[in-house]
């Protein structure tokens, strides 16, 4: 019986990984400002809730790796410019922000699920874009500010560019999408836990 649950969990993780890959590839075509909307945060939060923090971190890592690959290959102009100027910092930011977003969603859900699973799902789904965007802004300010200023924000503050122009509308869209879908994710969690 334990082996069956392990196989089901592996299959669920494989399906969510495929969804993450597809959503990230499709999401890279949907832009608000210079960056794309991360539709992928929904399956990452779902995976973190349904399968736990480690699975959320893995799904986040997959998201970060695809984002990095888009920068290396030139598919995403913003990431490509940053990678060309700072390959190590850009790689670390891409991978760490996404991995930690998935991990945070799982940890938040785990900490709150026994009190109220719906509140836990909403908090976990909110944590994912908050951590992803927050670490992106922090990493960009610390390590990529000059490159961003020279290539994307001439004449304006890098802080203004990152928070308002770059992350502002994208972050709001990602946060709202995750929160709106959180009750459905919570319901799915309850159904799968009964299996």
Arithmetic mean of pLDDT over the chain: 90
pLDDT at 166: 81
More confident residue, 53 or 188: 53
| Of 43-47, 75-79, 146-150, minimum mean pLDDT range | 75-79
Q: Model confidence at 182, in pLDDT bands (50, 70, 90)?
A: confident
Render the burial of 4-29: b for 16+ CB within 10 Å, e for the rest: eeeeeeeebbeebbebbbebbeebbe
Q: What is the pTM of this model?
A: 0.92
Per-residue pLDDT of 60-74, as tens digits, reads 999 999 999 999 999
More confident residue, 38 or 101: 101
Q: Positive or negative, the Cα torsion across 150, 153, 159, 161?
A: negative
Domains annotated for the chain, with CATH where assigned, are 2-194 (1.10.1760.20)
pLDDT at 34: 62
Q: How many of the other CB atoms lie within 10 Å of CB of 138?
A: 13
pLDDT at 100: 98
The answer to whether 68 touches 95, Cβ cutoff 8 Å, is: yes
pLDDT at 1: 52
pLDDT at 184: 86
């Amino acid at each position: 019986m334990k082996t069956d649950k392990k196989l089901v969990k592996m299959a669920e993780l494989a399906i969510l990984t495929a969804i993450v890959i597809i959503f990230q590839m499709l999401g890279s075509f949907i832009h608000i400002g210079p960056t794309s909307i991360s539709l992928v945060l929904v399956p990452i939060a779902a995976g973190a809730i349904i399968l736990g923090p480690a699975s959320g971190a893995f799904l986040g890592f997959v998201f970060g790796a695809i984002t990095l690959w888009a920068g290396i290959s030139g598919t995403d102009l913003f990431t490509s410019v940053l990678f060309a100027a700072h390959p190590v910092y850009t790689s670390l930011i891409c991978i760490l922000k996404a991995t930690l977003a998935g991990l945070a969603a799982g940890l938040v859900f785990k900490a709150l699920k026994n009190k109220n699973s719906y509140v836990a799902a909403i908090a976990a789904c909110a944590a994912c874009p908050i951590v992803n965007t927050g670490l992106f802004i922090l990493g960009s300010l610390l390590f990529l500010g000059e490159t961003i200023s020279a290539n994307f924000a001439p004449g304006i503050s890098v802080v203004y560019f990152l928070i308002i122009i770059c992350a502002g509308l994208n972050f709001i869209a990602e946060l709202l999408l995750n929160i709106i879908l959180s009750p459905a994710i919570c319901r799915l969690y309850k159904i799968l836990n009964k299996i």
